[in-house]
Amino acid sequence: MKQSKYPDGWDEARVKRVLAHYEQQSDEEAVAEDEAAYESTTHTAMEVPVDLVPAVRELLAKRRAG
């Protein structure tokens, strides 16, 4: 059987903590968490046409690098 590869900074314990958080969350808590994410003043969510996704990813990568 193949071993799972976690992203940098993640391990099995962290994955289990995240799963436990969401499995124990009430519907009301989940809605409140989702709504809070959209109130961020530093990030936004938007729809991007699929054909523009590579260009957007490139811009974000350049911003992170520089």
Chain segment 10-24, per-residue pLDDT in tens: 999 999 999 999 999
Calculate the alpha carbon distances from 52 to 25, 44, 45, 48, 66 in Å.
Answer: 35, 17, 15, 7, 21
Residue 66 has what pLDDT? Answer: 81
Tell me which DSSP letter residue 6 carries.
Answer: P
CA 21 to chain centre: 15
Rg (CA), the chain: 17
Chain segment 51-64, per-residue pLDDT in tens: 999 999 999 999 98
User: Of how many residues is the chain composed?
Assistant: 66
Chain segment 22-53, per-residue pLDDT in tens: 999 999 999 999 888 888 788 888 899 999 99
pTM for this one? 0.51
Q: Which amino acid is at 1?
A: M
